[in-house]
Amino acid sequence: MRNINEDTITQAVIASFADCKNARLRTIMTSLAQHLHAFARDVHLTEDEWFKAIEFLTEVGHITDDKRQEFILLSDTLGLSMLVMSQNNRKPANCTEATVFGPFYVEGAPLYSNGDDIANGAKGAPCYVKGQVRGANGKGIPNAQIDVWQSDEEGFYDVQNFGDEGHSVHRARGRLKADAEGYFNFRSILAEAYPIPHDGPVGRMLQAVGRHPWRPAHLHFMIEAPGYERLITHVFREGDKYLDSDVVFGVRSTLIVEWKRHEPGTAPDGRNLDAPWYTLDYDFVLNPLEVHA
C-alpha cells in the first residue's frame, strides 16, 4: 500500500475490498471505485472542483429532512431515479408502464371510499377520475389498493404547506380500494404543471447547466394487489408544454391522457357546478408476479 500513485490507486482501492464477505456489496463498491476514478481521470478533476462537489453534497444533506428530500431531487434530475426504476420494472407491452416515485409520497394517507372527494379543500378546478384496475387477461382485479396524490393548482403538495399547528393537512391525497370488478372513482382537482423545489443546491445546479425545474401536469398512482407486481406510475395531462422536457425524465407516451373539459353544469356526482370541471378516465393493467416452483 506504499508509494501509491495516480496509476496504481484504483487497483489498490479495489484490493482493499477483498475481505468483504457480502459479494453484492463488493461488486458495487468495486464498480463504484472504478467509475469514480475513471470520471476524475476523464475530466482531469481539479482539487478546487472536487472540494466544490463535496460542499454541494454536504449542502444537499443539510437541506434534507423529513419534509424535503433533496437527494431524491438530485437523483431525479440526473436521470438516475428513472434509470434505476426502468431497469427494475420491465413489463410486458400490454401492462401499464411505471415511472418515478418522486419525493412527495406519504405513508398512511387518509382512507376514502369510491366516489369521495380526496381534494379536501386543495385549490384547483374540480376533476372526476375513474378507471379500472385489470390483469393482463383483461379481467378486473377486485379490491386493488390505490394510493393517489398530486399537487394543487399552485404547484404545491400538501406536505409543502403547514398550518398554524406546524403540520400539513392531507389534501389531494388518499387511499381507496377498487370494487369487486376493479373499478374505482373519486373527485380531486385538475392536475397542473409545477416546478420541483429549486431554492436549494439542486435548483442552483439546474440553473447553472441551463435547465428549467418544471414537471408536466400529472397525477401519481401506486397500485397494489395480491399476486401482482406493485405499480408506481403517473398519468400525465395531454397538451402540457413540459411533456418533452420533464425535469425528471419521467414521461411515457402511454401515460399521456386527455383531461376532458366540461362547461358548468351537472357533474358526475350530481353536484351543480357553476365553473368548468374536468374528467379523467384511465385503466391500469398490472403485471402478474412470477410464480416459482
Inform me whether the pLDDT recorded for 104 exceeds 90: no
Query: Cell triple for residue 204?
Result: 442552483
What's the grid cell of residue 146? 390505490
Q: Which is it for strands 260-262 and 265-266: parallel, antiparallel or unpaired?
A: unpaired
248, 100 contact by CB (below 8 A): yes
Three-class secondary structure of residue 132 per DSSP: strand
Furthest-apart CA atoms within the chain: distance in Å: 81
For 201, the 3-state DSSP assignment is helix
What is the tens place of the pLDDT at every residue in 199-213?
A: 999 999 999 999 999
- Tell me the fold of 70-286: Protocatechuate 3,4-Dioxygenase, subunit A (2.60.130)
Interval 243-287: pLDDT, tens = 999 999 999 999 999 999 999 999 999 999 999 999 999 999 999
Radius of gyration of the chain (CA): 23
Give the DSSP letter string of 88-131.
H----TTSPPP----S---TTPPB--TT-B--TT-SS-EEEEEE
Kindly report the length of the chain.
Answer: 293
**pLDDT tens across 118-146, in order?**
999 999 999 999 999 999 999 999 999 99
Domain-by-domain residue ranges, the chain?
1-43, 70-286
- Please report how the helices 47-63 and 70-77 are oriented relative to each other, as an axis angle in degrees rounded to 10: 130
| 61-91 pLDDT per residue, tens | 999 987 789 999 999 999 999 999 999 998 9
